[in-house]
Structure 1
Amino acid sequence: MGRARLAAGDWTRASELLRRALGLWRGPVLADVSDAGLTWPELAALQGTRLAVHEDCIQAELAMGRDRELIGELESMLEAEPTRERLVAQLMVVLYNCGRQSEALDRYRRTRDLLADRFGLEPGRDLRRLQRAILSHDPALALRLTTAPGGAADFPPPAGPRPAAAAAPQPPRPRPAPTPPARADDRADGSRADDSGAGRAGTAAAPAAEHAFRASWERVERRAASVVMVRAQWTADGGALAPERVDHAVKELTADIRREMAPFGGHVRRAFGSVWLVVFGVPRAHEDDAERALRAALALHRHFEAPGPATPGATAAGPVPGSGAAATRPVTHLVVGTGEVVVTYDDSAPEPVEVTGEVLDACHHLLLQVPRGELWAADATVETGGADLGFAPVPGVPGVHRPAPARPEGRGPSGHPAEPPFLERTHELNLLRGAYQDSVRRQLPYLVTVLGEPGIGKTRLIGEFAAALRDGAGPPAPRVLHAGTPAFDAHTPYEPLAGLVRAYTGIRAGAPAAVVLPALTNVVRGLLPHADTGPIVTALAACLGLPAPAASAEGPDGGAVPREEVLGALRQFLEEAAAERPLVVVLDDLHRAADFVRSFVEDLTVRLGPVALLLIVGARSELLHTRPSWGCAKRRSVLLHVAPLSTAATATVIGAASGRRHPTPADDRRAALADGNPLFAQAYARAADAGADHPPAVLAVAAAQLDGLDRTTRSVLRDAAVVGGTLWRGAVEAVSQRDPEEVGRSLELLESRELLRRVRRSGVPGDVEYAFRYAVSRDVALAQLPGRVLVERHLRAADWAALLDVPRPGLLAFHHDRAIALAEADGTPVEAMERRAWEALVGASARAAAAGDDALAVSCLDHALDRCPPGEPERVWLVTHHRRIRDSLGARVHRRRPAVTG
């Protein structure tokens, strides 16, 4: 009955019944028999039953909060049964709850020594987990013991793997112990797990406790970003500006900045006063954030230099209310910089609530030095994204550039390196050549989609094919039209289709209507001499972004021509051009195009008439992520995946970019980092002397790939990065503490995105092993996690490694060492973490010895000794234990290191 009430959670009634049961015993059982030296199985069973009932009674009274009353009773019981681990655990919990943590840990050490001396054993798993929970001050410690209804208490691991269905730890009772660097229930992206699980006390949490957990709801990330900082000054004749005039001027200028930044993807934030901050790369990174920031700053600079109405005395809409004095246009100062920032999000909004970092301070300091009306950019930004923008150093100011006045607008000396050797693409060229020949021979349109990851060489492959076609194709010579989809600042939503019209007609982007309309009219009349060309010219002009006289909600930007008419005119235009002579149409980077453009392109060859037209689409693999059925079940459609280069070819590309004919061992190492990607290979070759692990261009591509993932998958990828370059599904589950099925789906998605590779033979039996394809992907993912979050993640990974059936001492030591190093860098005390590290290695050694692998046991102890400081009281025991196991090996194991002395 007492145990039934205990299982039901009726602590008071359980205590009463179990105390009454204990009162039925009158002294030792069969004392006369025991004194005579006889051993009866019944006697041992009765004694075990009495102890178990006593433990159940103590458990009920612990749940009632009688911690201090039970200390003496537990200590007296342990004098008779010093190796009874459940009693030891109960006493440790009582001491911990009374604020006597050191005594609780001392009791654990005494028990461990006693087990080792008497039986050569380590404490059981539950007791070891309890000891780690005390070391890390696990907030669930006080609650989890009270909910175990019978048998051994369910002691929680401090940060290790736990069942997915387990309730999230609840806020603990107030304790004098310090809080850990990060909570075990923080998600991988910094979000909070649900705090409403079972085991909560009946009363609601106090407002102060809720406030204490508020910080954990925010998500904090470290990111590389480019920023534009703008400062404005106004002057007026006749004295100071009235407050309402200043307010109006600030609002007008804010609208101008937002309008100029929007095409480049900048997020405008008011810093303070008349200073504006525009951030690129937050909340989503792009490969060209530095270039976007520079081009946006140039556009804003040109906007301020252009003639227009004065501000704040007058605007295009008229004078500002209350302005009584003449005014001038604002004088602006602009600075562009690139660096690392820390971004804080709130779960309720996708935009960051706070952006901080050294780069902001550096830009603000530089902003005070910029002359009136000038734009300055930091070296790092210009080197990364300003090769074609014509920036020159500022005389007398080191590390700063400004636009060179002698350069044409937006253009500068070419900064692109020489083309690398074109290797291992013969098969792909033959496929493209065969598709073109079939199209000409059969007079039918063909679609070839060239897919691949960033930098793999899709554009180069298409360019080499087009060049060979121009040089070697027989009569009639084909016409090749090439258009790319811009990453930003598109002239029209019809890109890249508008680029085809410009390529055929020779019209420059942004040309006025007086130039565009006559050119279009001449071309269309030449293709359709007997048709009414007016509607077609109007539709093609709308495709190029020219406004039309009447408005239509279906047209682009409120234009007059409905989208269906524009696309129909484009289809007719291309068909007539292909009827005149064979036509090769190249649309590059189609994954960036609008969805309606991709739909039009996918169906184009099916809806065209019998003409010799080869449509080549270049896109990243993400095109299939948004349109999985691209090209499926369509006639004359080919899907071509560009494969990575071999290691030898990659080394050749690196050697050529470095100016060497033959690869060196260093080139082979860089080839392993590039993993067959020509863009990465060139970048590593050019950055060989820079001293950085990864070139900025490679880091930018990796960051953009990560931000292309959904939030859950990106979080799982970061947890996988914590585990290591080689990782296991079970380890990622332990680090992320997410549902195992969710983790499995995310890892499979990451494999399909070619960020991870599955290893055929797993190093952990029964688990699935993966490896990062690119080291840079892992490094970028790790760099986005704050140090305190990384500490907790590494401790979770260490706890997972500590529970492996076959210990991996190197992996276990690595995660503990990383956690300790990160905590030290953050100024957190690490004494408890150091003890936790070597005690975990000692436990791994005991498991290896129990399994008969003495060599592995010695290896674990070697790592433990390396991490146990000389002044530690347990080091003497550890050295003795190490020597005893080494001696047991005898001549069977080659000693890899000399015997260690204290």
Structure 2
Amino acid sequence: MLSQDQRSGVAVPRPDDPQPVRFRVLGPLAVQGRDGRAIPVPGTKQRAVLGYLLLHPNQVVATSRLVDALWPGRKPVTARKMVQNAVSALRTALARGNGPDDEVVLLTHAPGYLLRVDPELIDLHRSRRLAEQGRRELAAGSPAAAAESFRQALAQWNGAVLADLVEAGASWPELAAMSEERQAIREDRADAELRCGRHQTVLGELRLLAEADPLNERLCALLMLALHRNGKPVEALELYRRQRDLIAERFDSEPTRELRDLERAVRTRDPAIDPPAPAQTVPPLAPPEEVAADLAADRSAPPAATRTVFRPPPGAPPSALVTEALPSAPVLATPTGEDAPPGHAAGERKRLSAVLVRVEPPAAVGGDDAEAFDIRFREVSAVVAEEAARYGGTVAGRIGSTLLMLFGVFRSRVDDALRAVRAGHAVHDRLLRLALPLGVVPGAGRVRVAVSTGDALVRFTEAGQDAAPMVVGALLDQCLRQLESAEPGHIKLCDATRRAARLVTAGLGDPLDSGSASAAVAALGRSPAAPGARAPLVEREAELDVLTALFNQAVRTGRPHQISVLGEPGVGKTRLVQEFARLVGARAEDAHLLRLRMPVLGRPTGRTALGELVGLCAGLHPADPPHTVDDKLSAALRRWLGPRVVDRETVLGHLRALVAPAHTGGVLDGEAVAACRRMLEALAAERPLVLVLEDLHLADDGVLDFVDGLAESSARIPLLVVTTARPDLIERRPTWGGGGYRTTSTMHLEPLSQDASARLVSRLWEQWGVRRTLDRSDLTSVTGGIPLFVVEYAALFGRPSPAERAEVCGAWPEHLPERVRAVVTEHIDALRPQAKAVLRDASVQGPRFWSEAVAAVGGREVAECERWLAHLERRHFLVRADRSSIPGSDEYVFRSAWVREVTRLSVLQPARREGRRRADAWLAERAAGIR
């Protein structure tokens, strides 16, 4: 017989009745038999299988999903057999606790298993049911009953979800989502308590919750209300100020209208927010130390850095503080209407670098003189436009004698800040040479340049990239302040610009500290070092052996060979060729080694790249005067071609033209290409030559033709050309790296396995003297096996203090390194517009999503979405599940949590909310159809 607890509506068994088997997943996994005793479930794999099935009760879970859950990295050959053994042992254990009616049955159901169980026997379901009951009661105007329902829901929790399995390495996406469910129940409980007038009781817990989640605007609002009602309005206003500043710093945005209205109400002592009459006494909230312990346990799950928006609970009546309705149709991440720009979001958050250039006329200029100055100012505009185009930026506008250049608007690059710095210096130096024609003489007028880097909201017009976008944010105001304090002869850089520029100039000293524009340009002209280049090399032994074998073959046969190393950003192309170059360099007496990265910043890559190559062969230095360049080139040609070559002067003339600064632009001519190829062939004839050309996807067609020609050469020379590139190169030239030639080949680099990633972190921490325990599951979900991400993960989590982690992340959340954000943003912006749009639509959902849900978010055809999702999987953005938990719709996850976070943060908040609403609606519709 069952008695009924009238207060909570939960059926409570009498003490003398046998209890059915019960399961606890809200805390360490536990199974309680009919006699009330614990049923032991030995073995980590058995417990993991049971825990995963309990998270999906009465659903068919494919064996492949269980295998992925148990072995997220490299899987043993007998993985499926081990799952079968675990299921068999579980059936035996459950049979010991079952009664004659078999309340719990573990069935084999193609393509996997189904755990048939009454959901009420699982604490997670009971918590969810009680929480929904509380929300209905709160919407119906019964806050006291709602508070009790929320208390009952929280009482089901005994720690983090499946805490013992998490400790053993489980990192399933469902765990983080359930941790967020608990947080939502806490917030709803606090809301109900405040509506009951229990602001004194709830204040302590709200302080702890808000401290643990500083970007949660709903928590901020609840705490502000509690402080106000406890007679602490000044503290409430100070809390709002900190929240506003944090949102402005992190997101370049402002608090929601609800939070702003609440601040106004606190400031004006609006009686509408005064406390209601106290309700009856209820059981106390959890002690502060218990709440703190629970929060610490929750944070053991992978963090989700979100800015939680304050909004009423579902079904609640509109707040008296809300005076204006939200827009009924916010802009989507990827608008699909007729007025939407093709291939572009209507707006997105982007990291930009802004350059302001001001040429101040003499104070006496006015009337006709001002008109003359304006005519001559066109020369200034032309200089700025030329340098902006040269360095990959765009001129965004002019106010008076001030011009604005922007970098990263249409396509982000890792080196946008460095490009902006170089463009600013180049404009500054050229304008100084225009000083006299402009009438700007020393003491009468000045040329000022400032560069600032930061986040901004970029809105595109209907014309897309054919028209200048609208840029909104504090970035431009900051740049204006920089401009006001800029001194003549110097360029004013903000700290964010310096930090971003140094990310791509590691190992070049500190050229940004130079006050001289010319000196800074010269220092920054060298090829930037790749981040993570000095990290240990792991799981690339086979690839290194291939490169070594090809070199030995070229030496043995005397035939040229060209191999392309292809891979996505951060996958380790540079680190692999660096290690290969080290091995070749150790045989310096046996081989020549030349390394060149594309492009040299801000200049065309045709003549410039070949000129750099000539300079490497001849030992030229950027500071060499013209006569020294001639001497070095002549000496090199005599050594390579011999003193009796008839056309030596002709060859010398072509090489001199390639390295001359005045000839860095233009199209490569056939004679210059032939001269450069002849120089390399002569060098290889002297000793075997290894030519390493990195980032070849950035090269122009002239360089690609030149490299192709080296492999096709009929000359018998021991030459190995090693190129690195992203897969973009294959899209430009589908036959690259194969093309039917026996002398060309291609190598594709894949992400690291979980074991290799862990080894890399351990070796880095050992080098740095860091003593920490590595969370392998968190490492895999965050980094996706991308070596650059693994190195950044090690750098971030090897630093114990928030201040040290801030050095890695800059102004971004502590878990998102600045370099990762720059690389991922560049990678995303390099996608085709349709692929980028689909990726953004996927990011507003959870870590796991379905192709049909993505189609629902963006309003596209499912077949179209599936094509682009497959493309994104090939580009290492996504991973497709072997079996989908929703029949008929492909299931995907982001390869790296960092990739999803960068993509999601670029989507405007209204679009995120609308996208999530559409995805939830699709899920609800599918769930109803399945039932």
Q: TM range, normalised to the smaller chain?
A: 0.5 to 0.7
Query: Does the 8 A contact of 1:217 with 1:347 survive in 2?
Result: no
Other-structure match for 2:17: none
Equivalent residues in 2 for 1:128-139, closer than 5 Å: none
Cα distance, 1:707 vs structure 2:
0.9
Superposition RMSD on alpha carbons, in Å?
A: 3.6
Question: CA offsets, 1:521-578, max 9 Å, x none?
Answer: 3322332233211222222233335668xxxxxxx8468xx71222222222222221
Q: 1:767 aligns with which of 856, 869, 889?
A: 889
2: CA distance, partners of 1:263 / 1:216: 25
Query: Does the 8 A contact of 1:223 with 1:783 survive in 2?
Result: no
* Structure 2 letter corresponding to 1:279: L
Question: CA offsets, 1:83-136, max 9 Å, x none?
Answer: xxxxxxxxxxxxxxxxxxxxxxxxxx9xxxxxxxxxxxxxxxxxxxxxxxxxxx
Question: CA offsets, 1:149-203, max 9 Å, x none?
Answer: xxxxxxxxxxxxxxxxxxxxxxxxxxxx99873539x664235247xxxxxxxxx
Other-structure match for 1:678: 787
Other-structure match for 1:721: 843
Tell which structure's C-alpha radius of gyration is larger: 1
1: CA distance, partners of 2:393 / 2:570: 24
Does residue 534 of structure 1 match 2:649? yes
SS state of the match for residue 574, structure 1?
A: helix
Question: CA offsets, 1:623-643, max 9 Å, x none?
Answer: 222222112211132212223
Cα distance, 1:240 vs structure 2:
7.3
Cα distance, 1:438 vs structure 2:
1.0
Other-structure match for 2:253: none
Query: Does the 8 A contact of 1:335 with 1:375 survive in 2?
Result: yes
2: CA distance, partners of 1:513 / 1:457: 39
Query: Does the 8 A contact of 2:561 with 2:711 survive in 1?
Result: yes
Does residue 639 of structure 1 match 2:766? no
Distance 1:375 1:577, change over 3 A: closer
Other-structure match for 1:192: 337
Distance 1:630 1:295, change over 3 A: same
Cα distance, 1:407 vs structure 2:
11
SS state of the match for residue 798, structure 1?
A: helix
Does residue 310 of structure 1 match 2:417? no
* Structure 1 letter corresponding to 2:334: D
Does residue 292 of structure 1 match 2:292? no
Query: Does the 8 A contact of 1:220 with 1:342 survive in 2?
Result: yes
Other-structure match for 2:601: 488
Other-structure match for 1:700: 822
Cα distance, 1:662 vs structure 2:
5.7
Cα distance, 1:302 vs structure 2:
3.8
Question: CA offsets, 1:552-610, max 9 Å, x none?
Answer: xxxx8468xx7122222222222222122211111111111101311221232222411
Q: 2:545 aligns with which of 430, 435, 444?
A: 430
Other-structure match for 1:779: 901
Does residue 524 of structure 1 match 2:637? yes
Question: CA offsets, 1:606-658, max 9 Å, x none?
Answer: 22411111111121222222222112211132212223223233234334545
Distance 1:498 1:237, change over 3 A: same
Question: CA offsets, 1:667-702, max 9 Å, x none?
Answer: 763454222223222223334422523111111111
Q: 1:256 aligns with which of 370, 383, 400?
A: 383
Distance 1:568 1:461, change over 3 A: same
Distance 1:369 1:545, change over 3 A: closer
* Structure 1 letter corresponding to 2:747: L
Query: Does the 8 A contact of 2:538 with 2:759 survive in 1?
Result: no
Cα distance, 1:516 vs structure 2:
3.1
Other-structure match for 1:136: none
Distance 1:573 1:604, change over 3 A: same
2: CA distance, partners of 1:687 / 1:588: 27
Cα distance, 1:704 vs structure 2:
0.8
Query: Does the 8 A contact of 2:333 with 2:345 survive in 1?
Result: no
Distance 1:546 1:373, change over 3 A: closer
Does residue 282 of structure 1 match 2:409? yes
Gaps of 5+ in 1: 1-108, 110-176, 195-212, 315-325, 394-400, 549-555, 808-843, 852-902
Other-structure match for 2:573: 458
* Structure 1 letter corresponding to 2:627: A
2: CA distance, partners of 1:217 / 1:591: 23
Query: Does the 8 A contact of 2:566 with 2:725 survive in 1?
Result: yes
2: CA distance, partners of 1:740 / 1:363: 44
Cα distance, 1:730 vs structure 2:
0.8
Cα distance, 1:452 vs structure 2:
1.7
2: CA distance, partners of 1:652 / 1:764: 36
Distance 1:262 1:701, change over 3 A: same
Distance 1:557 1:480, change over 3 A: closer
Query: Does the 8 A contact of 1:191 with 1:217 survive in 2?
Result: no
Identity %: 32
Other-structure match for 2:681: 575
Cα distance, 1:406 vs structure 2:
12
2: CA distance, partners of 1:460 / 1:405: 34
Other-structure match for 1:880: none
1: CA distance, partners of 2:828 / 2:585: 39
2: CA distance, partners of 1:392 / 1:277: 26
2: CA distance, partners of 1:183 / 1:524: 69
Query: Does the 8 A contact of 2:348 with 2:908 survive in 1?
Result: yes
Q: 1:181 aligns with which of 327, 347, 362?
A: 327
Query: Does the 8 A contact of 2:697 with 2:725 survive in 1?
Result: yes
* Structure 1 letter corresponding to 2:863: E
Distance 1:238 1:456, change over 3 A: closer
Equivalent residues in 2 for 1:471-486, closer than 5 Å: 471-472=586-587, 477-486=590-599
Equivalent residues in 2 for 1:219-258, closer than 5 Å: 219-235=346-362, 242-258=369-385
Q: 2:585 aligns with which of 459, 470, 474?
A: 470
Cα distance, 1:480 vs structure 2:
1.0
Equivalent residues in 2 for 1:383-782, closer than 5 Å: 383-386=499-502, 388=505, 403-404=514-515, 409-410=520-521, 411=523, 419-472=534-587, 477-486=590-599, 488-490=601-603, 493-509=606-622, 513-529=626-642, 530-531=644-645, 532-545=647-660, 557=665, 563-632=669-738, 633-658=740-765, 659-660=768-769, 664-665=773-774, 669-670=778-779, 672-688=781-797, 689-690=805-806, 691-782=813-904
Query: Does the 8 A contact of 1:229 with 1:335 survive in 2?
Result: yes
Query: Does the 8 A contact of 1:263 with 1:488 survive in 2?
Result: no
Other-structure match for 1:23: none
Cα distance, 1:328 vs structure 2:
6.7
Question: CA offsets, 1:48-67, max 9 Å, x none?
Answer: xxxxxxxxxxxxxxxxxxxx
* Structure 1 letter corresponding to 2:723: V
2: CA distance, partners of 1:241 / 1:648: 74
Give the TM-score, by structure 2 length.
0.58
Question: CA offsets, 1:31-51, max 9 Å, x none?
Answer: xxxxxxxxxxxxxxxxxxxxx
Moved more, 692-701 or 409-418: 409-418
Distance 1:667 1:730, change over 3 A: closer
Distance 1:327 1:219, change over 3 A: same
Distance 1:757 1:459, change over 3 A: same
2: CA distance, partners of 1:406 / 1:544: 22
2: CA distance, partners of 1:570 / 1:651: 45
